Amino acid sequence: MSSSASPQSAQILTEEQGLTFPPGFVWGASTAAYQIEGGVHEGGRSASIWDTFSHTPGRVLHGHTGDVACDHYHRYRDDVKLMAELGLKAYRLSVAWPRIQPDGTGPANQAGLDFYRALVDELLEHGIEPWVTLYHWDLPQALEDAGGWPVRDTAHRFAEYAELTQRALGDRVRHWITLNEPWCSAFLGYGSGTHAPGRTDPPAAIRAAHHLMLGHGFATQALRAAAPDHEVGVTLNLYAVSPQTDSPGDADAARRIDGLANRFFLDPILRGSYPADVVADLAGVTDFGHVRDGDLEVVATPMSFLGINYYSRHVVAAPIEGVEPEPYWRAQSSWPGSEQVRFVTRGVPVTDMNWEIDAPGLVEVLQMVHRNYPELPLYITENGSAFVDEVVDGEVDDVDRVAYFDAHLRACHTAITSGVPLRGYFAWSLLDNFEWAWGYTKRFGMVYVDYDSQLRIPKSSAKWYTEVIRRNGLAAQ
């Protein structure tokens, strides 16, 4: 598909019977290792920061852990068969670093590699293209004990791990994602402490963000050197950010949050520089002395694509003097230097995560990236919603999730017809799973999981998505 849509191609994309996506559009679903695999003590796997965090009292709701999760480690063949029945063309999985390198360094653990070789082979036998994410938040605890992402050496260890993994799977895997949502790893893990490893140290969070991006750059170089024809990218969680009013104070609040949520990662990775206004906002937190000469050139190593995870919009307002901002779901300390910005709720429909449903924001995000950054193919690597699901007569009729997917795929189509080079969509998530600090209380899956019996029940959304894939588009509204 070309990077811009002509009026003629727009006619091809839009039909009276519904909306058709470009030929070759990638239809997939995503998961993450710690959220679904279980088997945490098997096959030579060591502890990750999420094992430690989830076993620390008070960190995860109801004391839930990922010890068993969806038991995908033992049930992957059945899960792949289910993916094939649903018609998935691609599957975005993550590789657990502590399965591959239990200590975060040294030779690969062959039992761990064998598991992923078998999983990838199963996918290929069913005609499903594997997209491998190398880091979805499960840092080996040994590396956290050595300082974690705030320490520069972790970036080098990550590149070594990436090279080991590609050496083992590169004959089967051609699509690689280095990091998933480095904002979460840095600012939730080391800023607010609401994610593993649970540290509350804003300067360390800024260093972690830089070293995550540096690790991405080193890993990208290693992957491309080993296999120049492979596709390598990174996944960022991006938000539409709006001021509550057109006042200068609210506009500055929006600038600040857009800066930390979006531009703090987009600019280094795609432009090779940190945004000057965000650096100024952070002057009271860090002097950026951890950034060495040549770092940003490494961070901006050219990629094949950019993955975008989109869930909601941030609406923000200026602080009110003498009034503390209300607690925000990500915690105010997730926004170093801008802790007093107020996050505003608008009274619009929300998901079970209390995230506002805002499909037009996805169009804004896609167009913003396409407009402001170098031309690059884009993929939605996560988009989905948690709702309260009930099994009735053996079925799960999740009509709200169907509506969510439908609205956001229509937003994707709108972006494509405006010229955005969007090449694929990965629904989050294939399975209900361990939802981080929320444990098993939030369900994002298209497939219902009974955590006691491990029974899988495809929901109405899964059957709906199967039809979307079959027709490469959406029915008329």
**Would you name the residues annotated as active-site residues?**
181, 382
Question: What residues have CB less than 8 Å from 91, skipping those under 6 apart?
Answer: 28, 29, 30, 31, 80, 83, 123, 128, 129, 130, 131, 430
C-beta separation of 244 from 344 below 8 A:
yes
C-beta separation of 429 from 29 below 8 A:
yes
> How crowded is residue 337: how many other Cβ atoms within 10 Å of its Cβ?
20
C-beta separation of 112 from 43 below 8 A:
yes
Q: How far is CA 219 from CA 97, 175, 176, 234, 384, in A?
A: 14, 13, 10, 11, 28
Q: What is the DSSP letter of 341?
A: P
The single residue listed with the structure tokens 């519904």 is 18
Cα–Cα dist 382/361, whole Å = 14
Q: What are phi and psi of 319, to 5 degrees?
A: -65, 150
Question: What residues have CB less than 8 Å from 194, skipping those under 6 apart?
Answer: 188, 330, 331, 334, 437
Kind and range of the H or E element at 111?
helix 110-125
Helices (H), 170-301: 182-183, 202-226, 248-258, 264-271, 276-281, 295-299
C-beta separation of 98 from 138 below 8 A:
yes
C-beta separation of 250 from 243 below 8 A:
yes
26-37: b or e for each residue (b if 16 or more CB lie within 10 Å)?
A: bbbbbbbbbbbb
C-beta separation of 89 from 25 below 8 A:
no
Q: What angle do CA 198, 107, 213 make, to 5 degrees?
A: 45
